[in-house]
Chain A
Amino acid sequence: MAQHRSKHLLPGFGLSMGISLFYLTLIILLPLAAMLLKVAGMGFPEFWRIVSSNRALAAYRVTFSSAFIATIINGVIGLLLAWVLTRYRFPGRRILDALVDLPFALPTAVAGLVLVTLFADTGWYGQFLEPNGIKVNYTQLGIIAAMTFTSIPFVVRAVQPVLEEVDVDFESVATTLGASRWQVFTRIIWPTILPAFIGGCVLSFARSLGEFGAVVFIAGNLPGLTEIVSLLIFIRLDEYNYEGAAALAFVLLVVAFLTLVATNLLAAWQVCYVERKT
């Protein structure tokens, strides 16, 4: 209601609307429309032939399974880091907190270069892994490592603010009433942070699906084995197969859009949850 009232009071509606629409149209909508036209122009049978080809199916399988595993790893580690950063005070906490954002600040190409060097057979990590039969570079493990690294911050940053809000009084009351620490976690803390946790996981999954820079360095890019969807699109472009690239890009665009819808619904759920509780 307050916002409705301010519609008449505050200036700048026309100007900010004008700038926003001009930018959105020119930078986002027009290019998107160009690609959608390209896809619409190829007809459904052709589109379907491209997106359901064996090579595309193999690329989906590699991309989705790697992103799924990377998300599980980041879910567990993200929860641990968020918990430690909000619940304990210890020397080096600020540095740990700042370090969590490194994967966002570090360009993906640099991340890829570092990972492929770390896991090379003579690399700092590879020299210990390779003799034990664990090969990371140019295998799916490499893709998982790249996806995990580039999406580390998502779950931490989603869960951290909610965890800070969980009322410590509730917990002490529950403890005085005889609840074990595990019960406090599963009955009080977990339900509160669940929407944020899932939201963080969805973002992490989406980022992993689209990750390109870090993966191309370490994946080896063997068709059917370590070829991710983004790379297959890139290869189609190199072959001047624009329809093939457009159809696959459309698939990724739809997945991204669905992710966005899912995170918005989760955010709404989170708000409902907080309001119901208070």
Chain B
Amino acid sequence: MGHSAERSAGANVLIGLSFLFAAAALVVPLALIFSFALREGVGAYFDAILKPDTLHAVFLTVITAIIVVPINMVVGAALAWLVTRFRFRGQQLLVAVIELPAAVSPIVAGIVYLFLYGNQGLLGPAMQAIGLQIMFTPLAIVLVSLFVTAPYVARELVPLMRQQGTDDEEAALSLGANGWQMFWHVTLPNIRWGLVYGAVLTNARVMGEFGAVSVVSGSIRGQTNTLPLQINLLFNDFNIAGSFAAASTLALIAVITLVLKSLLEAWERR
């Protein structure tokens, strides 16, 4: 582009302003998390992380992500295949419905589940009658997590698959491949980075979800508390060191997410 050779004074001012903003609004907050988490030494840090309640919150958060991310990868790939490879009635409506969960407040996401499986919900009483409790259990956390991240994988795959077109797949079929062979050997290699990228974003959102989970989990200590809820609980107990220790684990995942995202984008460009 050749802009860099003769960069004007104005350009330098704009670049400087950007770095100033990024430092104040992004770098300093990130530094603060780790600084506060480690303020009382590494020993105190690990003591705070290894408290049974916090450890259980880590466990629950990881389990939720392990269940939700693969499901949304499969469904996201199916949705993207459907939307980019076929034309059918109600297609626009389908796309709008997938997008709705990401556009709505997480509190609303929690509430809709409460009105389905809660005590006064649509199916709650009938399910309780046969001894099935969903609200305030880890299952409810999994369900709202599936809800809030519904569009994440499809959103990455749809533009990618639309741009790639169907030539490769049609060639595979005309050479005698069956549907599954075509998918494993042609489609999947073409979309793998987009799929991984979608999974990384889904994972970050699932592990960090607060609003929706706080409605449906009941926040029972040592039972249905995920990490973000645990941070809030420790903060309300004035246990600042503990809440920053818990927060630092999620911040670390956020940093890894950003690094993976940059790498995946670089690979995709190749």
Report the Cα distance A6→B82, complex, angstroms. Answer: 12
Asked whether B3 lies within 8 Å of A89 as measured between CB atoms, the reply is yes
Q: Cβ of A3 < 8 Å from any Cβ of B?
A: yes
Instruction: Pick the contact of A6: B15, B106, B166 (CB < 8 A).
Output: B166
Q: Cβ of A260 < 8 Å from any Cβ of B?
A: yes
Asked whether B210 lies within 8 Å of A233 as measured between CB atoms, the reply is no
Asked whether B210 lies within 8 Å of A212 as measured between CB atoms, the reply is yes
User: How many residue pairs, one in A and one in B, have C-beta atoms under 8 Å apart?
Assistant: 276
Q: Cβ of A209 < 8 Å from any Cβ of B?
A: yes
Asked whether B111 lies within 8 Å of A35 as measured between CB atoms, the reply is yes
Instruction: Pick the contact of A105: B17, B21, B116, B204 (CB < 8 A).
Output: B204
Report the Cα distance A88→B18, complex, angstroms. Answer: 12
CB distance from A258 to the nearest CB of B (A): 9
Asked whether B86 lies within 8 Å of A34 as measured between CB atoms, the reply is no
Report the Cα distance A148→B29, complex, angstroms. Answer: 14
Contacts of B15 in A (CB 8 A): 84, 88, 90
User: Please, what's the 1-or-0 string for A1-42, where 1 marks a CB less than 8 Å from any CB in chain B?
Assistant: 011101101111101110110011001111111110110000
Contacts of A124 in B (CB 8 A): 28, 32
Contacts of A107 in B (CB 8 A): 204, 207-210, 227-228, 250, 254
A6-B86, A10-B170 given; A118·B100 CB < 8 A: no
Asked whether A10 lies within 8 Å of B100 as measured between CB atoms, the reply is no
User: Please, what's the 1-or-0 string for A253-278, where 1 marks a CB less than 8 Å from any CB in chain B?
Assistant: 10011011000100000000000000
**Stretch of A49-57, A136-144, A187-195, A244-252 with 4 or more beta carbons under 8 angstroms from chain B:** A244-252
Contacts of A230 in B (CB 8 A): 105-107, 211
User: Please, what's the 1-or-0 string for B251-270, where 1 marks a CB less than 8 Å from any CB in chain A?
Assistant: 10111011101100000000
User: Please, what's the 1-or-0 string for B140-153, where 1 marks a CB less than 8 Å from any CB in chain A?
Assistant: 00010011001000
Q: Cβ of A113 < 8 Å from any Cβ of B?
A: yes
Contacts of A33 in B (CB 8 A): 122
**Stretch of B48-56, B90-98, B188-196 with 4 or more beta carbons under 8 angstroms from chain A:** B90-98
Report the Cα distance A264→B96, complex, angstroms. Answer: 9
Contacts of A30 in B (CB 8 A): 116
CB distance from B263 to the nearest CB of A (A): 10
CB distance from B52 to the nearest CB of A (A): 20
What is the number of residues of chain A that contact chain B, defined by CB distance less than 8 Å? 90
Asked whether B87 lies within 8 Å of A210 as measured between CB atoms, the reply is no
From DSSP, what is the main secondary structure of chain B's interface residues? Answer: helix
CB distance from A93 to the nearest CB of B (A): 9
Report the Cα distance A35→B100, complex, angstroms. Answer: 14
Instruction: Pick the contact of B7: A7, A15, A88 (CB < 8 A).
Output: A88
Contacts of B7 in A (CB 8 A): 88, 90
CB distance from B146 to the nearest CB of A (A): 5
Asked whether B250 lies within 8 Å of A106 as measured between CB atoms, the reply is yes
Q: Cβ of A213 < 8 Å from any Cβ of B?
A: yes
Per the 8 Å Cβ criterion, residues 184-226 of B in contact with A are 201, 204, 207-211, 214-215
Asked whether B1 lies within 8 Å of A89 as measured between CB atoms, the reply is yes
Instruction: Pick the contact of A92: B19, B25, B85 (CB < 8 A).
Output: B19
Instruction: Pick the contact of A15: B22, B78, B87, B88 (CB < 8 A).
Output: B78
Q: Cβ of B121 < 8 Å from any Cβ of A?
A: yes
Most-contacted residue by chain A among B108, B122, B209 (CB, 10 A)? B108
Report the Cα distance A132→B151, complex, angstroms. Answer: 45
A10-B85, A15-B78, A110-B250 given; A212·B105 CB < 8 A: yes
User: Please, what's the 1-or-0 string for A92-115, where 1 marks a CB less than 8 Å from any CB in chain B?
Assistant: 101011111111111111110111
Q: Cβ of A64 < 8 Å from any Cβ of B?
A: no
CB distance from B236 to the nearest CB of A (A): 10
Contacts of B150 in A (CB 8 A): 23, 27-28
Q: Cβ of B69 < 8 Å from any Cβ of A?
A: no
Q: Cβ of A206 < 8 Å from any Cβ of B?
A: yes
CB distance from A99 to the nearest CB of B (A): 5
Asked whether A96 lies within 8 Å of B97 as measured between CB atoms, the reply is no
Q: Cβ of A237 < 8 Å from any Cβ of B?
A: yes
Asked whether B258 lies within 8 Å of A32 as measured between CB atoms, the reply is no
Query: Would you list 30 pairs from A and B whose C-beta atoms are within 8 A, ordered by A residue?
Result: A6-B86, A9-B173, A23-B150, A24-B94, A24-B98, A27-B147, A31-B112, A32-B100, A32-B112, A34-B115, A80-B21, A88-B7, A88-B11, A99-B22, A101-B258, A107-B227, A107-B250, A110-B254, A113-B243, A118-B28, A152-B25, A206-B103, A210-B103, A210-B107, A237-B111, A246-B111, A246-B115, A249-B111, A252-B108, A264-B96
Which B residues fall within an 8 A CB radius of A? 1, 3-4, 7, 11, 14-15, 17-19, 21-22, 25-30, 32-33, 36, 74-75, 78-79, 81-82, 85-88, 94, 96-101, 103-108, 111-116, 118, 120-123, 143, 146-147, 150, 165-166, 169-170, 173, 178-179, 182-183, 201, 204, 207-211, 214-215, 227-229, 231-232, 235, 240, 243-244, 247, 250-251, 253-255, 257-259, 261-262
Smallest CB-CB A-B distances: 8 pairs: A107-B208, A210-B105, A213-B210, A11-B179, A212-B211, A31-B112, A105-B254, A109-B228
